[in-house]
Structure 1
């Protein structure tokens, strides 16, 4: 069945009249293919690379996710070259550089969807939960996650460390979404219904992306 599915680059496929809900559906359908092992065949030929080098970017979505090697957006959403504008760091946290990257992408390329993707067994989250002593640079990341850790621990005092970490993974992704929505540029696009911002969590064992309401 896999050979029957062929990915063909279409320079007009995305961004030109694509609605946020349609972009979200495309990612969800791609993840379903990933889970089922029914990947579209990708064209990475010289012709495609040359076409992409000439054309303005037209990604389907911006994806902010963790730098974890097991979490590769283009793979888990079964997309090709030029389809996703990816921003990654340990813990999928938002600082001024991350927010600027997202604002730039949405403003310049008219991308209709922003997806914040947390994931199962996040090392950065576990580091924050355990209170591990770190370097000054790593602490900069931890400072973004620790307030969420404190909040979750205070309201879930009977949970074990694994349960706490899992809940922090969910809430940390939501907090990143909240910070993105605080951007005047992003919030304006959202109000105009040109952009949708959603939150999700990737499950390593199943490969499923869970969209958070």
Structure 2
């Protein structure tokens, strides 16, 4: 499949619609999971086109786990995704500010919060919880992920898969609560925030909210 010019692709009318953006990313994930990745926009010409600026169409907040690189998982290329990665998708001031920057300065229309299967941050939080309350921990990972685990348990959910899904949902809730910029952008329809979970065993991205 011949790649179109990067600038031309960015000018497509449906590029501003979050639903179209998300569909594009999921289509890339299907290619990746089926072993048919196209590795678009990774040539010297694309690199040169992006020297003077970037115009990513989506922002991804994901785990720092080396097995979960968003650009590869979604089969995207240079300049496509603005990515922010922390262990367990943990939120702090820098992460929130980076997400706000992507909306205010880069004008992305979609934010994807992506957890993943067999998350080490969940296992660390479980160990931390066994020693005491999550809110008393010195570790931000244990505090944030541990709170998600406790929320899941209150709903009688008790598997690691459940904990990972609930943590993505709580991360989105906390993000909107903490950021006036993002809260207003969601309310006005400027952006959409979706939750997802990458499956290491299949290479597929599980859609948790849309």
TM-score class normalised by the smaller sequence: 0.7 to 0.9
State the alpha-carbon separation in 2 of the partners of residues 171 and 21 from structure 1. 23
Between the two structures, name the one with larger relative contact order (CA 8 Å, sep ≥ 6).
Answer: 1
State the alpha-carbon separation in 1 of the partners of residues 11 and 126 from structure 2. 39
Residue 77 of structure 2 is aligned to residue 76 of structure 1: no
The answer (yes or no) to whether the contact 1:7–1:41 under 8 Å persists in 2 is no
2:111 is aligned, of 111, 114, 117, to 114
How far residue 152 of structure 1 moved from its aligned partner, in angstroms, is: 2.5
Q: How far does the alpha carbon of each residue in 1:52-96 deviate from its partner, in whole angstroms, 9 at most, with x for none?
A: 112x31112100000001101001100000100000010012111
**Match in the other structure for 2:192:** 196
Q: Once superposed, which parts of structure 1, at least 4 consecutive aligned residues long, lie more than 6 Å away?
A: none
TM-score, normalised via structure 1 length: 0.86
Q: Which runs of 5+ in 2 are unaligned?
A: 132-136
The 1:202–1:96 alpha-carbon spacing in structure 2 relative to 1, beyond 3 Å, is same
Residue 62 of structure 2 is aligned to residue 65 of structure 1: yes
How far residue 130 of structure 1 moved from its aligned partner, in angstroms, is: 2.2
1:94 is aligned, of 88, 91, 95, to 91
The 1:71–1:41 alpha-carbon spacing in structure 2 relative to 1, beyond 3 Å, is closer
1:50 is aligned, of 48, 62, 75, to 48
Q: Which runs of 5+ in 1 are unaligned?
A: none
State the alpha-carbon separation in 2 of the partners of residues 43 and 65 from structure 1. 21
Root mean square deviation, CA, Å: 2.1
2:175 is aligned, of 177, 180, 202, to 180
Q: How far does the alpha carbon of each residue in 1:135-190 deviate from its partner, in whole angstroms, 9 at most, with x for none?
A: xx971222111112223234438x4xxx1x22111111111111222211112211
Question: Secondary structure of the equivalent of 1:13?
Answer: helix
Give aligned pairs, total. Answer: 200
The 1:203–1:67 alpha-carbon spacing in structure 2 relative to 1, beyond 3 Å, is same
Q: How far does the alpha carbon of each residue in 1:7-39 deviate from its partner, in whole angstroms, 9 at most, with x for none?
A: 444124237752111111111111111111111
Question: Secondary structure of the equivalent of 2:9?
Answer: coil
